């Protein structure tokens, strides 16, 4: 960036001060060559910064209000301060600012244009199309459609026509009108997981290759019963080529301008340091719906994605291919019902652990019973689910 002579900085005074300073009195030692020049020259640069800051403080310190600022001669003079940031740094600063302040996409575009307006020629892209490609990559993202009326899976966008008829309820689905359908996206997590592990490969290597479980001691998830059993069950060739995760989903608040709600699906990678795994969640899917979500299709496709997914990565200069194992689901009480396909806690038989029918007294209550309540078990729960499937003769009972 070409720098013009700054007209409101007292450069003569600056030069005099620098010439009067004996650099050897400041720097204790011989003057050495550095990557950017002599040590004396580096000190000159630092002193220039100090003097410039003092001059600016003198200017703005005397300004009491906006009117005085506008009338000051410095207000109309071109800025010639040296730029000390690269394009990449400015780009990342803009993205961080937009995320921190929750800017809309239009706001992000305008911010890029604002930065470019400060230079004679643009230094960053500011077209909507290019920025969309940069910050919203489409690789590894799938878009799926579900019938709004009967929750039947219709297919992947691109594989089905924009106007379709549901084979079950004969509803007409117009993909150009988002209100006609529920839709969800799935995002291949391989690259996100690879980036996270690569940034913490020493810890990952320690967990998968060196860590020894001490009997009777639990300091992390790796010491849990299910985790240790899982690791022991792996074939020898996969002992070092696994990554485990916990998945979570929860309904986010509805948009102010729409009746749609959004259900993000996250993965938390266990083989990362505690402070990293809880703060760096992997977004794996997004469900958009304007009514109570039917999670069956969403989770079925998520399971298919994870089962097929492999994570190519280099650990300690050794190329590996990691397989993802989702061991646990962690959700709140509201999300638990749709994830498990059961009645919500405020409905009849809404307990996830037993078959207490509940009693309705203005609201659903579950009072203490004199007789023991039968606990749920896997086989009976599956049997009850099959009875509830549409078309089953017993589902109408």
Residue scoring higher pLDDT (47 or 298): 298
Tell me the DSSP string of 220-253: SGGGSHHHHHHHHHS-GGGTTSEEEEEEEE-PBP
Alpha helices in the chain (DSSP H): 11-20, 23-26, 39-61, 66-71, 87-100, 105-116, 128-135, 190-199, 201-205, 225-233, 274-277, 295-308, 333-340, 378-387
Q: What is the mean pLDDT of residues 167-182?
A: 75
How many angstroms separate the CA atoms of 28 and 25, rounded?
A: 7
Rounded to whole angstroms, what are the CA distances from 270 to 105, 194, 197, 215, 267? 33, 13, 11, 20, 9
Q: Is the dihedral angle over the CA atoms 128, 130, 132, 134 positive or is it negative?
A: negative
pLDDT computed for residue 226 by the predictor: 92
Q: What pLDDT is attached to residue 74? A: 77
Cβ atoms of 92 and 108 closer than 8 Å:
no
Distance CA 291, CA 165 (A): 20
Who's near 184: CB < 8 A, 6+ residues apart? 143, 144, 146, 285, 286, 287, 288, 297, 298, 301
How high is the pLDDT of residue 273? Answer: 95
Average of per-residue pLDDT across 362-388:
88
Burial 179-189 (b: 16+ CB within 10 A, else e): ebbbbbbbbbb
Rounded CA-CA distance 190/188 in Å is 6
**pLDDT(337) > 90:** no
pLDDT of the residue at 90: 93
pLDDT at 39 (0 to 100):
60
- The answer to whether the CB of 262 falls within 8 A of the CB of 286 is yes
| Mean per-residue pLDDT over the chain, rounded | 81
Would you state the pLDDT for residue 295?
Answer: 86
How confident is the model over 42-58, as a mean pLDDT? 59
What average pLDDT does this structure show over 31-36?
46
Residue ranges per structural domain of the chain = 11-76, 87-135, 185-336, 342-397
Instruction: Please report, rounded to a whole number, the percentage of residues in the chain having pLDDT higher than 90.
Output: 40
Buried b (16+ CB within 10 A) or exposed e, 253-288: eeeeeeebbbbbbbbbbbbbeeeebeebbbebbbbb
Q: Quote the pLDDT of residue 302.
A: 94
Highest-confidence segment of 122-131, 150-159, 247-256, 288-297:
122-131
Range with the poorest average pLDDT among 60-64, 164-168, 180-184, 288-292: 60-64
For the segment 344-353, what is each residue's pLDDT rounded down to a tens digit? 888 888 888 8
Residue 72 confidence (pLDDT): 77
pLDDT exceeds 60 at position 193: yes
203-237 pLDDT, tens digit per residue, is 999 999 888 878 888 889 999 999 999 999 999 88
pLDDT category at 17 given cuts 50, 70, 90 is very low
Per DSSP, what are the bridge partners of residue 268? 246
Give the whole-angstrom CA distance, residue 168 versus residue 81: 68
Q: What's the CA gap between 183 and 295, in Å, rounded? A: 11
* pLDDT of 23 strictly over 50: no
């Amino acid at each position: 960036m070409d720098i013009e002579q700054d007209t409101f900085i007292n450069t003569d005074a600056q030069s005099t001060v620098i010439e009067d300073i004996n650099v050897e009195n400041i720097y204790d030692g011989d003057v050495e060559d550095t990557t950017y020049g002599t040590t004396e020259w580096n000190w000159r640069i630092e002193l220039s910064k100090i003097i410039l800051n003092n001059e600016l403080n003198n200017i703005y310190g005397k300004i009491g209000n906006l009117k005085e600022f506008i009338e000051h001669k410095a207000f109309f003079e071109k800025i010639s301060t040296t730029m000390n940031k690269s394009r990449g740094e400015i780009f990342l600063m803009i993205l961080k600012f937009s995320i921190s302040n929750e800017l809309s996409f239009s706001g992000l575009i305008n911010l890029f244009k604002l930065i470019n307006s400060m230079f004679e020629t643009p230094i960053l892209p500011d077209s909507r199309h290019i920025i969309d490609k940069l910050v919203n990559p489409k690789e590894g993202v799938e878009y799926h459609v579900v019938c709004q009326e009967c929750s039947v899976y219709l297919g992947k966008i691109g594989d089905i026509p924009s106007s379709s008829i549901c084979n079950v309820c004969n509803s007409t689905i117009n993909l150009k009108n988002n209100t006609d359908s529920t839709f969800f996206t799935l995002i291949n997590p391989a690259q996100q997981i690879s980036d996270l592990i690569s940034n913490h490969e020493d810890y990952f290597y320690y967990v998968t290759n060196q860590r020894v479980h001490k009997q009777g001691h639990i300091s992390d998830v790796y010491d849990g019963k299910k985790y240790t059993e899982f690791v022991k069950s792996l074939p020898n060739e996969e002992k070092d080529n696994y990554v485990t995760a916990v998945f979570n989903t929860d309904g986010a608040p509805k948009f102010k301008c729409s009746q749609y709600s959004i259900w993000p699906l996250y993965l938390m990678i266990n083989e990362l340091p505690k402070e990293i795994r809880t703060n760096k969640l992997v977004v794996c899917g997004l469900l958009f719906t304007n009514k109570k979500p039917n999670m069956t299709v969403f989770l079925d496709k998520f399971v298919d994605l994870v089962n097929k997914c492999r994570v190519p990565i280099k650990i300690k200069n050794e190329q590996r291919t990691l397989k993802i194992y989702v061991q646990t689901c962690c959700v709140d009480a509201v999300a638990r019902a749709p994830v498990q396909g059961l009645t919500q806690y405020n409905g009849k038989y809404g307990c996830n652990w037993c078959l207490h029918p509940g009693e309705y007294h203005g609201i659903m209550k579950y009072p203490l019973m004199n007789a023991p309540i039968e606990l749920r078990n896997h086989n009976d729960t599956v049997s009850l689910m099959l009875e509830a499937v549409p078309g089953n003769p017993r589902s109408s009972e």
